[in-house]
Structure 1
Amino acid sequence: MTMEMIFQKLDDQTDQATKKMIQNLIERKLKFDRYKNIHFFLLTIACLYCLAIGYVCYEYFIIPHDLSAIEAVSAIMGTAYFAYLFIIGALLFGSVKIFYERKEKAEKEYQELRCEIIDKSKDLWHEDSWGDRYQVFEQIKRQYDINLFHESK
């Protein structure tokens, strides 16, 4: 069932404000999911990048200079591309931090609106359409993984 089908089902049961709240909730959930996926992808790339750099440093700098840590560190610092690799790593972890903050903000907005809909559920749905409310909430749960039955995550 697409979002349009959910709203067709809502036409007879709720007012325009309730439809707009549910539409905003779905949009915020999709935004949160998008930021969560981007954050996970960037975090994975950053960790793999660090592992690769660690392996390269170990193979080419630590093993040949295993008797002296100072020589190994000076060999690493002496390479021309080390600064570029460090900047790339810093940019990767900076982007991870930025998308983590965006993800947290999107989740907070999503959870606040979800809890507001749950709290106002009795006011938003008419008594004669209370059974239809269950069907709509079930469809939203099934399609978008949004639980409107309980406030807990």
Structure 2
Amino acid sequence: MEETIKLLEPVTDEPTKRMLQGLVDKKRKFDDLKRKVLLLQLASFGLMIGFMVYFYNAVVLTSGNSLPAVLSRFVDESLHLYFLTAIAGAYATALFLKKKEEKAEKEFHTLRCEVIRKSGELWPQPYHWKKRIAVFQVMKSEFGINLFYESK
């Protein structure tokens, strides 16, 4: 459990801490997948641009702008197939991880909204109800999780 969440001892009980820890874990999973998707999208875009530049300089310019010659040179080199496979693989992996990212975002948002809706049950006493704002501020400043409003 996060040290920051452990330090909320007088204000929150153990089940609430576990719920907040679960929220932090889901946020980290979502952020990690978001970063991976961006890197794979950039990698596939970079590979595609690199292949297009290479293909234009190495194949199109040296083939005299003849379509049969360009196609022949394209098929003769196995390197072209490797390039296309790498581009397609990076793009397909980015699409796969994008679906996982959307699922992780939905899970995170659902749990976040549940914490907001159940805040009356999680901090039932008037003293703790006033202190919950401090908990919400800690979650926002330390982990970037907004528990004040349900909207994203």
Global fold match (TM > 0.5): yes
| Separation in 2, partners of 1:66, 1:149 | 65
- Match for residue 20 of structure 2? 22
Q: Distance in 1 between matches of 2:79 and 2:107?
A: 42
> 2:5, 2:17 within 8 Å by CA — same for their partners in 1?
no
Tell me the equivalent position of 1:59. Answer: 57
- Deviations 1:51-79 (Å, cap 9, x if unpaired)? 00000001111122353223212211221
SS of the equivalent of 1:14 reads coil
Alpha-carbon separation, structure 2, partners of 1:109 and 1:83:
39
Question: Aligned AA for 2:100?
Answer: R
1:106 to 104, 107, 114: 104
For residues 113 and 76 of structure 1, the distance between their equivalents in structure 2, rounded to whole angstroms, comes to 52
Q: Distance in 2 between matches of 1:5 and 1:114?
A: 18
TM-score (norm 2): 0.91
Q: What SS class does the counterpart of residue 36 from structure 1 fall into?
A: helix
SS of alignment partner, residue 81 of structure 1 = helix
Q: Residues 106-127 of structure 1: CA distance to partner in whole angstroms, max 9, x if unpaired?
A: 1111010001111111111122
Q: How many residues align?
A: 151
| Selected match of 2:80 from 73, 79, 82 | 82
Work out whether 1:46 is the aligned partner of 2:58: no
Which residue does the alignment assign to 1:115?
113
Corresponding residue for residue 128 of structure 1:
127
Asked if 1:141 corresponds to 2:146, the answer is no
**Percentage of identical aligned residues:** 31
Distance in 2 (CA, whole Å) between partners of 1:67 and 1:56 is 15
Moved over 3 A (4+): none
TM-score normalised by structure 1 residue count:
0.91
Q: Which amino acid aligns with 2:146?
A: N
- Give the gaps of 5 or more residues in structure 1: none
Q: What stretches of structure 2 of length at least 5 have no aligned partner?
A: none
The one-letter code of the counterpart of 2:143 is: Y
Q: CA RMSD in A?
A: 1.6
2:95 to 91, 94, 97: 97
| Aligned-pair CA distance for 1:147 | 0.3
Deviations 1:92-136 (A, max 9, x none): 112111211111111111010001111111111122212211011
> Is this contact kept in 1: 2:5–2:20, CA < 8 A?
no
